[in-house]
Structure 1
Amino acid sequence: MKISVSLTLWLLLGAVSTNECADCQQTFPQDVYAALREMTASLVQLKADMRFLQTTEQTAQLKTEVDNLKQQQLVRQVAFSASLVAGGETTIGPFPTHTTLIYKHVVTNIGNAYNSNTGLFTAPLRGVYHFQWWVGAHGDGGAHASSAGLFKNSDHIFLAWEQQTSHFGTSSNGVTLYLEVGDIVSVSLWANTLAFDNLFHHTTFSGHLLFTM
């Protein structure tokens, strides 16, 4: 009797285990495949998002680099040109001492290194610059010459000079200078001389950066 009951229980347990395994075999693979498909889709989306973020970051970095390069290029662009007056007619001088000329009519001032309130050019970069200046002369019977000298800080560099007894004339000069940041370049009316200017702009001061160092 005991043997019969044990055999029956063993057969029932075997039947249940077999059915459950059959259910597992039918359900488990479907769940795995579904999970794998979801994981694959998630990975694909994640890769796409990462590529998008990388592209966005690279684009932002590239834009920043381009903006910096543009800014550096702008800083390296220095040029100005100005005359004493925009219109009308004027004669400046004579003065007993050298007097800084203030060129009020500014036609170009790239880099804003020239100050039309003081007449001073201040080097924004260390480098080599070229300057030119002209002085207009209107004869007053030879009583006074027309002359202007270029100064680097307090040092006189070159002079333009014209002695005009009558009528009209001009004198000019130019120089290439090495400047440190903050060096000041100006043009001064020479002591006891005159400078003439009118709407044709005869008395001028110009300069530009050749290259940095």
Structure 2
Amino acid sequence: MTELKAPDIYAALRELTASLVQLKVDMATGQAQLKSEVDKQKTEVDKQKSEVDKQKSEVDKQKTEMDKQKTEMDKQKTEVDKQKTEMDKQKTEVEKQKTEMDKQKTEVDKLKQQQQVRQVAFSAALVTTKGQSNIGPFPTHTTLIFKHVPTNIGNAYNPNTGVFTAPVKGAYNFEWHVGALGDNSHGSAVVLVKNTENVFIAWEQQKDGFMSSSNGVMLLLEVGDIVFVRLWVGHLAYDNGNHQTTFSGFLLFPM
């Protein structure tokens, strides 16, 4: 083992001391750098935290605004629902009024119709020409069609068929007249028919010259009953522009 001399020991101690000093300096420098880095990172963290706080504040602000908007929307929705309820109420009232108006209109139409059917009256003559005409004789009973119709209130008489149809149940008055020129072989006979029933007849016969006959009756008719004048088989009916052969009727009162 080599023995160290004093100068060598002092040199080693100086080197060791220098190393320790350098180490201490390095440590101090490292600590300063570390502290600086830590402070820098802390500053960055504080900066980020401040940014986060700022963003959080903005989010809270936006949330508050959204809550405010939601509250306003809820308020508006409540108002809309209220208005909708009011509109539904008004719609129901309008529909109710419309139903009532339709009901009243139906009633008015019904009354109008009843009023119209209560206005029933007609008069008709056998021919429309100014000349004269003999109708018949025919081998069968024949319905007379009175084509000249100066009055037909209610249109209950049909000039195409010669038939009157009762539009309403009630009491009706009818009159019929027949004219003829006597030829010593044919009479003039016309009968009023209700549905299929012969009611009253108007009859006349003479040797020559003009002759006429008439009759009248009041009948209780149901809706749809028909009344017409029938020329009796083998008989004549005469008419001209003066209208001697006629058929008339009117509603006395409804039942």
Fold equivalence (TM over 0.5): yes
Q: Deviations over 1:162-207 (max 9, x none)?
A: 1021110110000100101111101000110000000000000000
* Matching residue within 132, 140, 143 for 1:100: 143
The one-letter code sitting in structure 1 at the alignment partner of 2:136 is G
1:78 aligns with 2:120: yes
Q: Which amino acid aligns with 1:131?
A: F
Residue by residue over 1:135-160, the C-alpha shift from the partner in whole angstroms, topping out at 9 and shown as x without a partner, is 001111x1100110000001100000
Aligned mates of 1:67, 1:79 — CA distance in 2: 21
Asked if 1:207 corresponds to 2:249, the answer is yes
Q: Which residue of 1 aligns with 2:222?
A: 180
Q: Does 1 or 2 have the higher relative contact order (CA < 8 Å, sep 6+)? A: 1
Counterparts of 2:115 and 2:172 in 1: how far apart (Å)? 16
Is structure 2 residue 165 aligned with structure 1 residue 126?
A: no
Bigger radius of gyration among the two: 2
Higher helix share: 2
For 2:178, which of 112, 135, 140 is the aligned residue?
Answer: 135
1:168 aligns with 2:210: yes
Give, in angstroms, the shift of residue 71 of structure 1. Answer: 3.8
The CA distance in 2 between the partners of 1:122 and 1:195, in whole Å, is 23
Local SS of the residue matching 1:188: strand
**Equivalenced residues, count:** 158
Provide the C-alpha distance between the structure 2 equivalents of 1:148 and 1:72, rounded to a whole number of angstroms.
Answer: 33
* 1:95–1:74 distance in 2 versus 1, CA, 3 Å: same
Alignment of 1:136-151 (within 5 A): 136-140=179-183, 142-151=184-193
Tell me the SS of whatever aligns to 1:196. Answer: strand
* Structure 2, gaps ≥5 residues long: 1-99
Supply the distance in 2 between the matched residues of 1:151 and 1:176 (Cα, whole angstroms).
Answer: 12
CA distance in 1, matches of 2:143, 2:102: 48
Gaps of 5+ in 1: 1-57
1:92 CA displacement: 0.4
Give me the TM-score of the superposition, normalised by structure 1: 0.68
RMSD of the alignment, in Å?
2.2
Q: Secondary structure at the match of 2:133?
A: strand
Which residue identity is paired with 2:191? G
Task: Go from structure 1 to structure 2 and tell me whether the alpha carbon gap of 1:124 and 1:65 turns closer, same or farther (over 3 Å shift).
Answer: closer
Correspondence for 1:112:
155
Runs of 4+ in 1 over 3 A off after TM superposition: 58-71
Contact 1:147 1:159 in 2 (8 A): yes
Mapped partners of 1:122, 1:185: distance in 2: 7
Secondary structure, counterpart of 1:75 in structure 2: helix
